[in-house]
Amino acid sequence: MFILSVLGPEWKLIANYQYSDLGKIWFLYKDPIKVQLLFADSQSVTVKVSPPESLPFYYTVVYASNGLEDRRQLWISLRDTAVAFDLSSHPWMVCDFNEILDPRESSNTTNITSTRAMREFASCLSDIGLFDLASQGPHFTWSNHRPSDPIGKKIDRCLVNDRSQLSYPKGFSSFEPPEFSDHTPCHIRLTSTRPEFGSRAFMFPSYLANLPSFVPTIKDCWIQLGAHAKNLTSLCYKLKQLKSPIKTLCKKNFSQIERRVQEAKVIAVAHFAGVLCTLRGSYCLFLPNYLSRVVSAHQWHY
């Protein structure tokens, strides 16, 4: 094959041409990794992978059909595969699907309830004990690439079982920005140290949007970053650059909020005492303590 000839003779291929004329699933590997084919059909290929310096694991590559009935056959096949090779007792990883698990995994806001297809997918994963591997990258892994009616969905995912987590506790997956495809490529790391940068979610306090300086700050930063974002890569870059001004805005207005409240309370007591002293003359000697008790009895917001 042309692709193999370009890659070099050291690369080996496992595919499902026997069940699909187009050979929709390709599994490429080279020494020193050892791979044993266990099962293949039109929508999946399952292999046993033996890395040279790591524990062996089982890996299923899925190319799910767009048809609901065909996907039901895939769920049956995955259940049978799990039982046939006793995969609940071994590290098992399954990648790629063509179905979402939850309405929130679609950008289409009209989807507010789960469909039968979603529930059947979730039931299959529950039966075979698979769940999402820790990941980073865009939430939606597929896009229809229609500027007039854009839709994104999370239909590509990397799933693992308990044994896989125990064998590879530092494993994680990274979904990269798509280039020519409508799907995002997924990079799986089994033993790498999880990145410190980007592994923590960025918390955006919604109350910042009420500040008069919020919109001008964000607008100025966005303009300084240059031209319009024409793809997901440049959009992600510009969004990440907003973190610093947002953190600065939050720190400037809301850092050490308890101390600021106490200072505001002292200023308020002094101000009211001065005003009332002017009005009540000699009674002002007793007012500060009284006002302090009054202020403490109320919730002050700075």
On whether both 168 and 249 belong to a single domain, the answer is no
Give 34-92 pLDDT, tens digit per residue. Answer: 999 999 999 999 999 999 888 899 999 999 998 889 999 999 999 999 999 999 999 99
> What's at 158, amino acid-wise?
C
| pTM to 2 decimal places | 0.63
User: What gap in Å lies between CA 59 and CA 87, rounded to an integer?
Assistant: 10
Q: In sequence order, what E strands does 55-134 have?
A: 57-62, 92-95, 131-132
User: Is residue 155 one of the residues assigned to a domain?
Assistant: yes
Which residues, 6 or more positions from 67, have their beta carbon under 8 angstroms from its beta carbon?
Answer: none
Please give the tally of structural domains in the chain: 3
Confidence of residue 215 (pLDDT cuts 50, 70, 90): very high
Q: Tell me which residue of 90, 97, 96 sits closest to 161, measured CA to CA.
A: 90
* pLDDT at 142 > cutoff 80: yes
Structural domain harbouring 216: 206-253
- CB neighbour burial string for 142-161, b if at least 16 within 10 angstroms, e if fewer: bbeeeeeeeebbbbbbbbbb
Q: Which residue has the tokens 């999880």?
A: 194
* pLDDT at 198 > cutoff 80: no
Give 219-247 pLDDT, tens digit per residue. Answer: 888 888 877 777 777 787 788 888 888 88
On whether both 243 and 267 belong to a single domain, the answer is no
Helix, strand, coil % over all residues of the chain, rounded to 5: 40, 20, 40
Q: Check: CB of residue 253 under 8 Å from CB of residue 232.
A: no
Query: In the prediction, which pLDDT does 280 show?
Result: 58
User: Is residue 168 one of the residues assigned to a domain?
Assistant: yes
